[in-house]
Amino acid sequence: MAQVKASIVGVNGYTPDYILTNKELENLVDTSDEWISTRTGIKERHILKEPGKATSDMAVEAVKGLLQKTGTNPEEIELTICGTVTPDTVFPDTANTINLKIGASNAFGFDVNAACSGFLFSLSTGARFIESGRYKKVLVVGADMMSSIVNYEDRTTCILFGDGAGAVLLEASENGYGLEDEILRGDGSGRDFLIMKAGGSLNPPSADTVARKEHYVYQDGRPVFKAAVKGMTNTVQEVMQRNQLSAQDIDWLVPHQANNRILTSVADALGFPMDKVMVNIHKYGNTTAATIPLCLWEWENQLKKGDKLILTAFGGGFTWGATYLTWAYDS
Ligand code: UT7
């Protein structure tokens, strides 16, 4: 029997209406549009402001549109995987809340916590369920409400992050196109450089941890920057080599959007011209697990059946990797 391959059969995204511009950030912290634009490439980011709304609400918006686009009944969904570091609650997980809200009454679900690599790791996990032959329709979501863990008094982090959600539907490939190969890594070496220090079992939340602002994202940017360029470049190179691919063979590089200087360094090192690199960081900032599906959603109309894509990410952990896939449909 031929091996089952998982393919993406649809993608959709959602970003909240409120736009937080660099100009507005100038009023919150000691920064400037010029510094943010030249050091990161970010001009604005979308922020979920409505009281009572959370990560699952953005994910649900993305998934509802996806089900509509692909003509899928929510009861056909068998599994939902949600990559996120900002779950609605520490537990229960967000994937099951998504299932409840969309009416996926025959599904199970779980979250994947891999920071900015959350979508890649979730995609890999979802693909294995399809490849097993037992599951026919798997939702893979990347969603983060970073504004819920960002300190808007810390200029080193508050300028970077935004809120958003993206989702893909995985099915068994009917035409031979789909997820081809991947190299994923997570070694814990950089855990102190990008971390939310309190709220887990090591530092349970308390008045003291809140006073020390340990419930917010902490990042030491420079070591993360260096490791991100190295980690993404190396895994993309490795996955290309073992599939006998050169940069000319690849139609699109889809990198996690953390910093425009990281994207251009990776593209340069790999010999990719920037017109083959998906970049929308200027509009959304770093939406953590949502950046890659938001790119696929934005470029969906330009993607053609058989196009070769490499997705790559790097994030807290450190976690990182590269996934090679062939696009399975014309829009
Ligand atoms: O998505 C997960 C993975 N995350 C990443 O990949 C992020 C990786 N890191 C980065 O993107 C960059 O390191 C940052 C954008 C976070 C920072 O850029 P940088 O070029 O590495 O700046 P830096 O941290 O070396 O700081 C340079 C200067 C410092 O001032 P001094 O010490 O030279 O006087 C900072 O205090 O820039 C200052 N600075 C700012 N100035 C104006 C830091 N943040 C700001 C700011 N506005 N928002």
Average pLDDT over residues 73-83: 98
pLDDT higher than threshold 60 for residue 265: yes
In the reported structure, the alpha carbon of residue 222 is separated from the centroid of ligand 1 by a whole-number distance in angstroms of 7
**Does the pLDDT at position 273 exceed 90?**
yes
| 45 strand-pairing partners | 20
Mean local confidence (pLDDT), 169-196? 97
246 Cα–ligand 1 center, Å:
33
Structure confidence by residue, pLDDT tens digits, 310-330: 999 999 999 999 999 999 999
Q: How far apart are CA 47 and CA 265, in angstroms?
A: 28
**Residue 199 CB less than 6 A away from ligand 1:** no
Active-site positions? 116, 256, 286
Task: State the pLDDT confidence band at 331, using cuts at 50, 70 and 90.
Answer: confident
For residues 175-187, give the mean pLDDT. 97
Taking the CA of residue 286 as reference, the ligand 1 atom at the shortest distance is 1
CA 115 – CA 191 distance, rounded (Å): 11
- Please tell me the predicted confidence (pLDDT) of residue 328: 98
Q: Is the pLDDT of residue 156 over 60?
A: yes
| All domains in the chain, ordered by first residue | 6-172 (3.40.47.10), 179-326 (3.40.47.10)
CB 6 within 8 A of CB 127: yes
Instruction: Supply the angle between the helices 221-242 and 260-270 in degrees, to the nearest 10.
Output: 30
The mean pLDDT value for 5-33 works out to: 98
Distance CA 292, CA 313 (A): 8
4, pLDDT greater than 60? yes
Does 264 have pLDDT greater than 80?
yes
Q: Is 225 in the pocket of ligand 1 (CB under 6 A)?
A: yes
Q: What pLDDT does 28 receive?
A: 98
In tens, the pLDDT along 195-254 reads: 999 999 999 999 999 999 999 999 999 999 999 999 999 999 999 999 999 999 999 999
pLDDT (tens digit per residue) in 45-61: 999 999 999 999 999 99
Provide the phi-psi class of 133: left if phi over 0, else alpha when psi is between -120 and 50, else beta.
Answer: left
Whether 13 contacts 287, CB under 8 Å: no
- From the CA of 41, how far away is ligand 1's center (Å)? 12
266 lines ligand 1 (CB under 6 A): no
Give the integer Cα–Cα distance in Å for 41 and 261.
Answer: 7
Give yes or no for a contact between 87 and 288, defined as CB atoms under 8 angstroms apart.
no
Is pTM beyond 0.95 here?
Answer: yes
In angstroms, rounded to a whole number, what is the distance separating the alpha carbons of residues 43 and 47? 13
Q: Using CA positions, which residue lies closest to atom 29 of ligand 1?
A: 156
pLDDT at 2: 62
How far apart, in whole angstroms, are the C-alpha atoms of residue 140 and residue 126?
Answer: 7
- Of the pLDDT bands very low, low, confident and very high (cuts 50, 70, 90), residue 3 is confident
Would you say the C-alpha torsion 115, 116, 117, 118 has a positive or negative sign? Answer: positive
Q: How confident is the model at residue 56, as a pLDDT?
A: 98
Test site for ligand 1: of 39, 146, 319, most ligand atoms within 8 A of the Cβ: 39
Ligand 1 close to Cβ of residue 234 (< 6 A) = no
Cβ(159) to ligand 1 under 6 A? Answer: yes
Asked whether the predicted pLDDT for residue 1 surpasses 60, the reply is no
**C-beta of 228 in contact with ligand 1 (< 6 A):** yes
